[in-house]
Structure formats: structure tokens, C-alpha cells
Amino acid sequence: MSSRIPWRVRAGTATLAVLAGVGAFAAPGSASAASPPGAGRQAVSYHGYRIEVPADWQVVDLAENPQACLRFDRPAVYLGEPAEQSDCPAHLVGRTAGIVVEPLSARSAGQATAATARTARGKATAPTAVSSNDTIQIAVEDAGVLVTAAHTPATEDLVRGVLASAELTPGARRTELPRTVQRPDATALAAAGPQPGNYLGKGFDTCAAPSQAAMNAWRAGSPYSAVGVYISGSFRGCAQPNLTASWVTGQTGNGWRLIPIDVGRQAPCTSFSLKMSADPATAKSQGVTAAAAALTAAANLGIPAGSAVYSDIEGYASTASCKAAVLSYLSGWTERLHSGGYLSGFYSSASSGIKDAASEYGNSAYTRVDHIFYGWWNGTADTNTGSYVPSTYWAGHQRIHQYAGEVTESYGGYSINIDRDYLDVGTGTPPAPTCTGTNLDFTTYPTVQSGSTGDQVKAAQCLLKAAGYDPGTPDGAFGSSTTTATKNFQSGTGLTADGVIGPKSWTALLSRGSTPTVQNGSTGEAVTRLQRALTAALGRTVAVDGSFGPGTDQAVRDYQSSRALTVDGIVGSGTWGALQSGR
């Protein structure tokens, strides 16, 4: 794609006025709506809607350049209806600020969510409009336009100032946003199961979700059956005019697997403008916030619980403090996704972020991500990680390899710039695994190994299978397949890979799953898993009833004390991490 974006706009479709001069953009309310633009500003009008933007913003008329990429890595305003298929580079990361003003139509209305604001009669502004995923969206019905304004935390005030300058012009014509599209029926518009689900094969990712026609052509003619889509994040570089709940339903209904991606704060040791804190505690909190926004975006798109969402943290020159910040951010990211019933994924370069995560694989101070998605452009379509990650880590269908980048391919007449991926993924690490029909509740969890038989063996086999290490059909007989699965699980958990399921392996298997904070008075599945794991870890019976009472509280304190953890009776990330690593 050409990096040059024309400044002039089409006469009769959009008008542009620039007043020469330089200076800071004026604060909201510093000029009346009827005044000409002040120093350092330019007035832009479209469809009866007029705003004032900084003079150095690019202005793109989509009537003249319909396939222009709606990119936010440089300040710009886009006027008109975006083409169904835009010309975007595959790997565009970064955001400054940008605004899209397009006609209200059936297509654009599909982008509206519960966060979309509506202007009052005779008004072009909505002062109370909320920002969702660092995007403010306003339906200006008296002008018949949908305004989508992207920002970062640092540029939100600037963008709100631009929106506050809006006014209606004599050319405005009213079109109402259908009220039924603001809150789509998540049941009617939903992906065909968790994403990407169970899949082995090729996929691709690209900056902007392709059009339906392009997806159909590629489904018929390309070697790909999975597609990466950027669903959320303060640092997404491209607008997503095609990405709606209907789009998600259509693609998964046609057999596509989706790779949901969030692009948020980057490592503190980079030059990116949006970075996580170097303080681990703050970074973890920022990861929680990012995951909460990703959960909202996934729900709006109909991407259900059980799906994996991948945090995109671009490559960085690692240091000890930078690694600690990244892994803390990912801990918060993972814990919040788990609490919502989703899997956590992590995209980064194999040589930096992924290597760092692997180096602390068994460290209970961090909550481990469920899937890795690594950039290693070696041209080989497999999930080998070379020297970056041991083969036993994330070995339970938990890998995506981005093996080539920024290549243009064409199928059925549709050319797209993509990154090529190879997936070996599954639901092998669900937040809350269950073994329906298999008894997991015992007063003791004895050591079992090759030659052992009985209900405890069957329980162990079921837990291994749920963890993505398949011992075959759980039959209560500890044979060679169970030994192999046990060794693989132990290696992946950082335990001695001896094939014997003793207290440490039992503890790790029984505690595996989501890690919500539980304490005295809590109830539910997480408490049940906790009680089983404590029974194995302490070597004494803890009643398994799913209710966190005095007995469980004492057992938690005893466990925390014996493992040199903070003794408070509260099971948070630290205690869960210790249990899940088999301590």
C-alpha cells in the first residue's frame, strides 16, 4: 500500500478549510461553533457534519480513495463510506488518534454497540459519550453520520476536543440509527463455539478484518482456515468497519476459526508511545484492565467463553525489570480472562516475549498464559519453537507459529497483505476443566504409577486428558500411555518428569483451571478444586463440599505457612500459582 495519503478532498462530497498558522489545538469551548477555525486548526465537513481538527492531521476522502486503509498510527480523519475490502499492511501496530465519519447505513449501523452514543435533536455533540476500548462512537442522527473516534489514553482529551467542536451545517439530513442494532442479540449473533477451538493447520492474520466476499473467496481457494482478528486494545492500528457480530457469525458458520487478538500496552523497554508500567504491581493492574476491555469486546462480537484471546506485545530488548513488568501484565491479563471463563493467549516475538515467558514457566509468582502465539519468520509451517521454548512447554495444543510476515496473497480476485500462521490449538487448557462422570473426590490421593489400577488412576487419567496430555480413554489402568502423558504434564509444569503421580503432581492436576480469589464464605467449583488440591498437598483430608468454611480456611493457612506464602487464608494468584506448579 502506498504510504502517501492525499490531502485534498472531493468537492461536493466533503469540504476542507485550513487556516494557516501553527499552535496547539484549542481546548473545548474556546471558540464558538460558528467561528472559523483558529490557528493550527482545519475545518472538515461531511454530510452536514462539521468538526475542527488539528492542521497537521491528514484528511482522506474515501470517495476518491475507497480502498484506503483506515489506519490510526498517524493522526487522520476519514470521510465517507469505507470500501468493503481495504488495502492495509498486515502488521500495523500503534495508535495516535483518528476519526472516521461515515454515512449511517445498514452496514455502518452493524458496528454500533451499547456504548454508542446518540446526539439529541438539533445537536452534533454528545458530551457524555463513553470510551469503550479507547474508541468513542457517536451516531449524529440529524446529519445521518456515524462518527468513530480512536484514541489512546494520552490523546483522549485531544479527540474529545475535536468531537466537542462539532456542529451541523445546512446540508444536514436526518437518518436514525435503528435501535435494534445497538444491542445485538448475543444468542442469535454468536460464533460457532469457542475460538479458535480445536484446530491443526494454516491460518493468517491481517490488520483489518477482510470483507465477506474476500473471506468467501479465500475459504474456497486458499490453504487457510483460520484468521486472526484484532478485536480490542488501545494500540490497534486499524479501524475495523467489517468486524461485527454478524461478521463473526458468518465466518465461523462457514468453517473459519478465529484468532481474537488484543493490542494494548507494550513493554516498558520499547519506544512505543503506549507502554505498561515498569512497576510490576501496576503492570499487573493494567493487564487486568486490558483483559476486562477484551472481555467486553468479545461479548459484543459474540465470541463465547472458552475462547482464547491473545495479548499482542511486540518484540523488545529484554532486561530483568522489563521481563518482570511484561510477565506481571500477563498475569493480570490471564487472571481476569480466567475469571470471565476465557483462555489467555500471548503473542510476541519468539526471541523476546515468548522466551521470557518460557524462562519463568514454572515460577508461581506469575500466572502462566494458556496459549503462546509466537513470531518467528523462519518460513516453516509448524509449531517448533527451536531453542526459544522447550518442546514440553505449552505442549497440549497451545501453540500458534507466525512463520512468515507481510506477504501479499490473492485468491478469487482478492489480494490481502497477511502474516502466515500455523496453529496447533485446542481447548486443552480450559479455565474450569471438568471430568463429567468421573469421581475426583477422595479422602486421600495416593501415589499411583505404572501398574496401578483403580478409581484414583481413572481420576488422574481424566485430569491429564483435560490438561491436554492424552493418556487414552480413562480406564483405571496405569499403562504406558498414562506414563507418557504424566511425564509430559510434569515437564510442562516444571516438575520432575518421572511418570509417577505423587503429591506434587496430584496437587498440580487437581488445582488446574481458573484462578479467582476465594476466601472464607466463597462457594463454587473453584473452591471444590481448591479442597481437592489441599487434600493432596497437605496429605490430610479436607472436606470437598465446594464451601469455603473454617476447615478450608485452616487448611489454606497451613498450606501457605508450609510453602512460605503470605498467611492470610485468602487464595489469590500467589496461592493458586503455588498449587498449580505442584508446590
Predicted confidence (pLDDT) per residue in 260-306, tens digit: 999 999 999 999 999 999 999 999 999 989 998 999 899 889 999 88
Is the pLDDT confidence value at 252 over 60?
A: yes
Show the domain range for 479.
431-508
Backbone angles phi, psi at 150, to 5 degrees: -95, 145
> Which residues fall within 8 angstroms of residue 470, CB to CB, at 6 or more apart?
464, 481, 485
| C-alpha to C-alpha distance for 255 and 225, rounded to whole angstroms | 7
pTM score of the predicted model: 0.65
Find the CATH number of the domain harbouring 502.
1.10.101.10
Residue where a domain stops, chosen among 373, 406, 423: 423
Beta strands across the sheet bearing 167-168: 14-18, 41-46, 49-54, 167-168
**Which of 144, 68, 576, 20 lies closest to 331, judged by CA?**
576
Could you give the number of structural domains in the chain? Answer: 4
Is the pLDDT confidence value at 565 over 60?
A: yes
| C-alpha to C-alpha distance for 229 and 89, rounded to whole angstroms | 14
Residue where a domain stops, chosen among 395, 423, 451: 423
> Which residues fall within 8 angstroms of residue 302, CB to CB, at 6 or more apart?
184, 186, 189, 190, 191, 245, 248, 249
> What is the per-residue DSSP string for 211-279?
PHHHHHHHHHHSS--EEEEEEE-TTB-B--TT-SHHHHHHHHHTTPEEEEEEE-PBPTTS--SSB--SS
Same domain, 368 and 245: yes
Angle between helices 245-253 and 212-221 (to 10 degrees): 20
Find the CATH number of the domain harbouring 224.
3.20.20.80
Predicted confidence (pLDDT) per residue in 542-557, tens digit: 999 999 999 999 999 9
Predicted confidence (pLDDT) per residue in 295-352, tens digit: 989 988 999 988 999 999 999 999 999 999 999 999 999 988 887 788 999 999 999 9
Instruction: Report if residue 568 sits inside a domain.
Output: yes
Same domain, 157 and 294: no
- Residue 196 to residues 147, 227, 229, 236, 494, Cα–Cα distance (Å): 31, 9, 11, 20, 27
Backbone angles phi, psi at 137, to 5 degrees: -125, 130
Same domain, 247 and 328: yes
Predicted confidence (pLDDT) per residue in 411-457, tens digit: 999 999 999 999 999 875 444 445 767 899 999 999 999 999 999 99
Same domain, 277 and 338: yes
395 within 8 A of 370, measured Cβ to Cβ: no
Is the pLDDT confidence value at 18 over 50?
A: no
Instruction: Report if residue 191 sits inside a domain.
Output: no
166 within 8 A of 248, measured Cβ to Cβ: no
Instruction: Report if residue 485 sits inside a domain.
Output: yes
Instruction: Report if residue 481 sits inside a domain.
Output: yes
Predicted confidence (pLDDT) per residue in 357-398, tens digit: 999 998 888 999 999 999 999 999 999 999 999 999 999 899
Same domain, 442 and 398: no
Is the pLDDT confidence value at 22 over 60?
A: no
Same domain, 478 and 555: no
